[in-house]
Amino acid sequence: MSFTQKRCRISASFLFRTVSNLHPIYQNLGSASPAKYPLIMGILNITPDSFSDGSHYNTLEQAERRALSMIDSGVDIIDIGGESTRPGAASVGEQEEIDRVVPIIERIRGCGVNISIDTSKAAVMKAAVEAGANMINDVRALQLDGALQTAAELEVPICLMHMQGKPRQMQQAPYYKDVVAEVLSFLQQRVKACENAGIGKQLISIDPGFGFGKTFEHNLMMLAHIERFAAFGLPVLAGLSRKSMLGEIAGKPVNQRLSSSLAVALVAMQKGARIIRVHDVEETSDIRKVYMALHNA
């Protein structure tokens, strides 16, 4: 029996009691039974600095190879981004972002994997979905011009993320009285804005935005209480992979954060996160097997 068949048999759990009629992307696509396991979202950055040789052809080749390897490893959603949200990163023009992401979407569409477009720009959302993407991941929670209306028209699942400030200065002096309450309240307001724009609740997932305008203590507090986000009733996405909070905990540079990334992936799963956004799909897939085995014992 394949892993895919096995994972269909997982029984229901309170962790997964969410709004009824979830969009199929939040379920086990191609199967009659709903997902009772966390989904793995694999990160695919298409920026000139993310591949060894900046040439256009090589970038596309390498991106495709990486995508196929993630599919092999059991990825559920490939998150394709053409704009770096790194603090201080240069902003990317609309057409350039489209030119980066559309060719790779066209190459991997039809591989039986969900494709999410990591963007805040309405025009990029539209071009990506027309090319074959079936989810939007917006770190600005549809607050840029036209994004809310465009997302409503596209009728695809959408992840709303919280960020305090703007990427350029968000890490300068993050401040909260109660980080969990304030982030949750922002996400609730954005869900309401989506509903007012005609986006059904069943399309929406929420993300506290680890590292986006948060200190180390804020990030820890959000992970320690991530079940409070899950309690809101929408699928929670957690992006912790290789982030600086792990560097602080383990005292390791970004290329040595695999074990700490896996540890927090398991914690997030156990606390009810439904989508785990990661660089290391194969290893996270092993962690998910551990999670599921224990969950069903």
Catalytic residues: 243, 277
199 is an interface residue for ligand 7PM by CB under 6 A:
no
Smaller CB distance to ligand 7PM: residue 120 or 285? 120
Of 20-28, 30-38, 206-214, 227-235, which segment contacts ligand 7PM by CB under 6 A? Answer: 206-214
210 is an interface residue for ligand 7PM by CB under 6 A:
yes
- Measured from each CB, the residue nearest to ligand 7PM is 239
Report how far apart, in Å, the C-alpha atoms of 134 and of each of 4, 23, 58 are: 21, 11, 25
Tokens of 22: 């979830």
Binding marks (x or -) toward ligand 7PM, 26..55, rule CB under 6 A? -----------------x------------
Cα-Cα-Cα-Cα torsion 256, 259, 262, 264, nearest 10 degrees, comes to -90
Quote the CA–CA distance of 277 and 274 in Å, as a whole number.
Answer: 10
Quote the CA–CA distance of 51 and 202 in Å, as a whole number.
Answer: 36
Helix (H, G, I), strand (E, B) or coil at 120: coil
- According to CB under 6 A, which one of 74, 82, 209, 235 is a site residue for ligand 7PM? 209
Site for ligand 7PM in 131-170 (CB under 6 A): 137, 139, 159, 161
As measured in angstroms, the least distance from the Cβ of 121 to ligand 7PM is 14
Helix (H, G, I), strand (E, B) or coil at 2: coil
Which residues touch 215 (CB under 8 Å, ≥6 apart)? 174
Tokens of 254: 């970004």
- The contact set with ligand 7PM (CB under 6 A) reads 43, 85-86, 118, 137, 139, 159, 161, 207, 209-211, 237, 239, 243, 277
